[in-house]
Amino acid sequence: MSNRHLARTVVLQTLYEWDFGNSKEDPKEILKRDISEFAPGMDNRHFMHDLLEGVISKQKDIDNIIVSAAPEWPLDKINAIDRNILRLGLFELLFADREQVPPKVAINEAIELAKKFGGETSSKFVNGVLGAVYKEMGEPGKDQKSASQKPATQEAHVGAVVYAKHKGEIYVALVHDVFGHWTLTKGRLKDGLSEEVGIVNEAKEELGIDIKVKEKLGENSYETFHPERGKIKKHIVYFLAEAPFEELTLENKKEKGGLDDVKWFKLSEILNLNFYDDILPIVTKAINLLVKN
């Protein structure tokens, strides 16, 4: 099934790599590599190629707009992720076919990318810049009903802090995404499964190891936006789970999309890593429990 949100994520990864490499490598080759690595089975490569070429062809114009809309932020002082989210979002807002990408979808998609891959204030910054440009455009489609105005679809997910004991040390298994964050193994809870069975299956599919659930750690919820399905409210229940200290393989990498690494970390190394804000309390609670026990 077409998934333009994932497609935008892959294009953002390509733009980030191209920007980080000072434009020395052909962006088409970077995109080809990223599709092969993170989304080999996707059926909308044409959309990704057009989006990448469009952003790059309009980059000078877009960068001038960013400078005008955010004069207090020199372009080279905006971090690379936020800068390229703005480029992607502004291209879709200003130059994309509005029948295919309504302005509200362009803005919401950019905000969701900023929430997922940016820093603590990235989504507000992106929203501010795109919102200012949108107002200057006369707010086209302001009264048009969109998927984002529908009630959020509820989705149940499960996740786990997976640990192992080895030679007197406690290790935690973490997965790494393409935008530099370490995170927990997690996934959507399949219909008919209990939460405990669901996370056991998810860990096996993602990490390639068997786990034993010990206790519930907590839960959180957040809303995301899908361009075709509208708002989605994800509710995630997290568990503490033990596993043997075996090699981690990042199974089903093709289906997982934006994950690129998996690794065991000693407890003493964990809090120095780059986590998303929403899972940091879960990780901290798990560490405290493991230390206490």
CATH number of domain containing 220: 3.90.79.10
Residues 98 and 228 in one domain: no
Per-residue pLDDT at 11 = 95
Q: What is the DSSP letter of 152?
A: P
Count of structural domains within the chain: 2
Which pLDDT score is estimated for 147? 46
From 144, 167, 200, the end of a domain falls on: 144
Domain boundary among 144, 167, 197: 144
Q: With contact defined as beta carbons under 8 Å apart, do 178 and 258 qualify?
A: yes
Last residue of a domain, one of 127, 144, 161: 144
**For each of the chain's 293 residues, which pLDDT tens digit applies?**
347 888 999 999 999 999 887 667 889 999 999 988 888 777 788 999 999 999 999 999 999 999 988 888 889 899 999 999 999 999 999 998 888 888 989 999 999 999 999 988 999 999 999 988 888 777 776 655 544 456 778 999 999 999 999 999 999 999 987 556 789 999 999 989 999 999 999 999 999 999 999 999 999 987 765 545 666 788 999 999 999 999 998 865 444 456 778 999 999 999 889 887 788 899 999 999 999 87
109: exposed, middle or buried (C-beta count within 10 Å: 0-12, 13-18, 19+)? buried
Report the predicted TM-score, pTM, of the whole model to 2 decimal places: 0.57
On whether both 213 and 275 belong to a single domain, the answer is yes
Q: Looking at the structure, do residues 125 and 202 belong to the same domain, yes or no?
A: no
- Whether residues 239 and 140 share a domain: the answer is no
User: Do 275 and 215 sit in the same domain of this protein?
Assistant: yes
Domain containing 264: what range? 153-292
What Rg value do the Cα atoms of the chain yield, rounded?
Answer: 20
Please tell me the predicted confidence (pLDDT) of residue 176. Answer: 86
The predicted pLDDT at position 148 comes to 45
**What pLDDT is attached to residue 254?**
42
Residue 3 has a pLDDT of: 78
**Residue 57: CA atoms inside 13 Å, Cβ hemisphere, count?**
10
Check which CATH number belongs to the domain holding 133 and give it.
1.10.940.10
The verdict on 22 and 67 lying in the same domain is yes
Question: In this structure, are 131 and 69 located in the same domain?
Answer: yes
Alpha helices by DSSP H, listed for the chain, are 4-20, 27-38, 45-57, 59-69, 80-95, 103-117, 122-136, 195-207, 253-256, 267-270, 280-292
Together in a domain, 179 and 110: no
First vs last C-alpha separation in the chain: 45
Domain match, 280 and 167 both = yes
Residues 121 and 198 in one domain: no
- One domain, residues 61 and 180: no
Measured over the CA atoms of residue 242, residue 247, residue 251 and residue 257, the dihedral's sign is positive
Give the pair of three-digit tokens for residue 63. Answer: 């960068």
- Cβ distance 273 to 265 under 8 Å? yes
165 and 131 co-located in one domain: no
